[in-house]
Structure 1
Amino acid sequence: MEGTRRLTGGGRAILTALAAALVLCTAALVLAPEKAYAYGFKQTAATKDSATITWEDPNAGSSFYTTTGYTVQWGEEYGKVTKSVTLPATQKNFTFTGLKPGTKYYAKVTYSCRTSYGAYDSQYLASGDIASRVVTPTGVKQTKWWYYARSVEFTWNKQTAADKVEYKVCKNGSSKAVAKDSTAYLSTNFSVPKVKNNVMYTVQMRVHDQWGWSGWSKKAYLFTQPMVNAKKTKVKGNKLTVTWGKIKGATSYTVYVSTKEKKGYKKLATVKSSKSSVTLKKLKGKKFSPKKNYYVYVVANKKVGKTTYTSGKHYSYKVKGARGQLRWTFD
């Protein structure tokens, strides 16, 4: 036909090579890693120490690509993997075991495939968060009671898999909540305002994930540090007498003394809850002197079973002879 030239054998070979190169380039573009493909990637089950994911074959129905296997990688930090496992092409699910309870992990799935032109490894399929089930909260305890602000802070062992947390605060011996909150703000510390000094409270927590709520934690106890009685705390006759206000519900009190405000405190006495004063004779083997400065603080304790809750330290009391001064600490 006019205007048409026949290709020589060499020309046909060049065109064939160009076509093959174009196919390979196209395949490389299609299979480029880190594309935002999903392919049905999702978590389908969880226990307190395991999580199961499933996905679909990215080459299902393709006459050109054939999937030859999968690699699953995971780690606790988002975007970083520390463990991996290789799976056959027939397996499109995996169960992670040995996970920490209530913990979120990062998981990534890649695949390998082959064509008539070659094989391709580590092709991105999908990635995302997985998580073990939340469990009953632990480590719930008081961190600070603000005496004049009349608020209390408490902490817990945070579970990263939780999407909501709920707590309730009651007066000790009562089931009626004086403070209750449910929030998606997963802080490690919570603050409860408008509490009354010298009154003991209980706090319980529970957490939620996509599978439901955990159980309520065991009761933790919240209470203020006993205030030292300024008029009755003094050094007289080489003895130090310390007097404090009682906390209803406490099971004992512990008295600490030092010659320095910030350090060096020694536990000199632990007395029953029926007592509100103690007379001390020596500190580090030496008698007390009315001419020296001493720093004193008292901690209230609440023992429940094998667990002892304490008010902690928020202030100390400086005493010299019969005169004293309150010293607040904010550590």
Structure 2
Amino acid sequence: MIKKGKKLSMMLLTAMILAAGSVGTVAGTGAKQVQAAENAYYYVSLGNLQQTAMTKNSASITWEQTYASSMNTLTTEGYNIYLGESYSDMKLVGKSKTPSYTLTGLKDGKRYNVRVEAYTSNGTKTSSPVSGQVETIPAAVHNFRQERWWYFINKLEVTWDKVETADRVEVTLYNSKGRRVGKTQKLNSYAYSASFDKMKDEVYTVTIQAFKTVNGKTYATPKAKIQCFNQARIKETSIKVKKGSLSFQWGKVGGASGYDVYISTKPKKGYKKVKSVGKNTTKLTIRKFKGKKINPKKTYYMYVETKKKNGSKVNKSGRLYYWNTKSKNFGYF
């Protein structure tokens, strides 16, 4: 007959054996069963994850096995490497037999999350993986563009995709004669936009460049360059609607190649391009819209888009404002 204390000890031992035997079926009784359970036990802790090298699309890492405990002959067989731009999208990207690995096919100028976990010869994943972050060198500033031009406050805004691993980003403004305007803006890697005040009605050039220093060596992206210019402003006092005609004028934009004129009978949709004109034309008279004569009882909405030829491409200012024939005031798209 088993005493109460001994009975409890046997129950605990049985629970440990069953838990440890999850890697396979445990057969036999007594000492043999305990030995089978011990053969399934292995614990390892990883640490000291470091990035040892980086390029524009790769990152090399090393790590250490800081602690290991085993009651049997199981050892570390290899390591699983997981990668993701966030911890929620980590995916297995590779395996390594040694505590080092090179991640390839990465995006330039990006910061990634990485996790490494050990596994044994029977495929069991062990506890205490190691996590950290890796970076790549910026190769370019992507999606650099004019965001908007606030005509009435003479302000230009440009934007780009954030260069996560840059030490700094430099943005410079040049006027239509190629002269630098003001000082170069030196921004940190968190920046993704820049603005310029006191803008004039002319075509400007804006450049951007990102910098990254690694082990004393500074890498610089090629300069990205865009042309920026404002939407032509319609002169409110020039808007006139007479029987059968609509006429108006707009301000000239220095350095522009031409203008496209759009009209609609609704403020924010239905616009149709009615005329394309050259750089020296700043006024227009429209007598028909969508095949019908201009009706002085109707309200018409219009805007003028500025164009600038850049090699084989034609850049356009976009639209932010429209004017109407009723109040002759402007509105925002």
TM-score, length basis structure 2: 0.77
CA distance in 2, matches of 1:157, 1:308: 23
Residue 104 of structure 2 corresponds to which residue in structure 1? 97
Of 318, 322, 326, which aligns to 2:329? 326
- Checking the alignment, whether the CA contact within 8 Å between 1:109 and 1:124 is kept in structure 2 is no
The alpha-carbon distance between structure 1 residues 175 and 327, as it changes in their structure 2 partners (threshold 3 A), is closer
CA distance in 1, matches of 2:198, 2:120: 64
Q: Deviations over 1:211-234 (max 9, x none)?
A: 334334332122222111223332
Letter in 2 for 1:328: G
Q: Residue 275 of structure 1: CA displacement? A: 1.2
Q: Deviations over 1:251-289 (max 9, x none)?
A: 111111111112111121221112112222322222211
- Checking the alignment, whether the CA contact within 8 Å between 1:204 and 1:216 is kept in structure 2 is no
Letter in 1 for 2:50: K
Residue 279 of structure 1 corresponds to which residue in structure 2? 285
CA distance in 2, matches of 1:119, 1:261: 66
CA distance in 1, matches of 2:288, 2:152: 32
Q: Deviations over 1:175-210 (max 9, x none)?
A: 424242112252333222x22231332111112334
Structure 2: gaps of 5 or more residues: 1-12, 14-30
Residue 67 of structure 1 corresponds to which residue in structure 2? 76
Residue 198 of structure 1 corresponds to which residue in structure 2? 201
The alpha-carbon distance between structure 1 residues 219 and 153, as it changes in their structure 2 partners (threshold 3 A), is same
Residue 184 of structure 1 corresponds to which residue in structure 2? 188
Identity, in percent, stands at: 31
Residue 134 of structure 2 corresponds to which residue in structure 1? 130
CA distance in 1, matches of 2:151, 2:123: 70
SS at structure 2 position matched to 1:148: helix
Structural RMSD (CA): 3.1
Q: Does 1:156 align with 2:160?
A: yes
- Checking the alignment, whether the CA contact within 8 Å between 1:163 and 1:186 is kept in structure 2 is no
TM-score, length basis structure 1: 0.78
Q: Residue 293 of structure 1: CA displacement? A: 0.5
Letter in 2 for 1:224: N
CA distance in 1, matches of 2:130, 2:241: 72
Structural mapping, 1:249-264, within 5 Å = 249-264=255-270
Q: Deviations over 1:161-184 (max 9, x none)?
A: 334322111212324242421122
Residue 25 of structure 2 corresponds to which residue in structure 1? none
Q: Deviations over 1:102-125 (max 9, x none)?
A: 2221111111247xxx98523334
- Checking the alignment, whether the CA contact within 8 Å between 2:162 and 2:189 is kept in structure 1 is no
Q: Does 1:85 align with 2:94?
A: yes
Of 45, 56, 67, which aligns to 2:64? 56
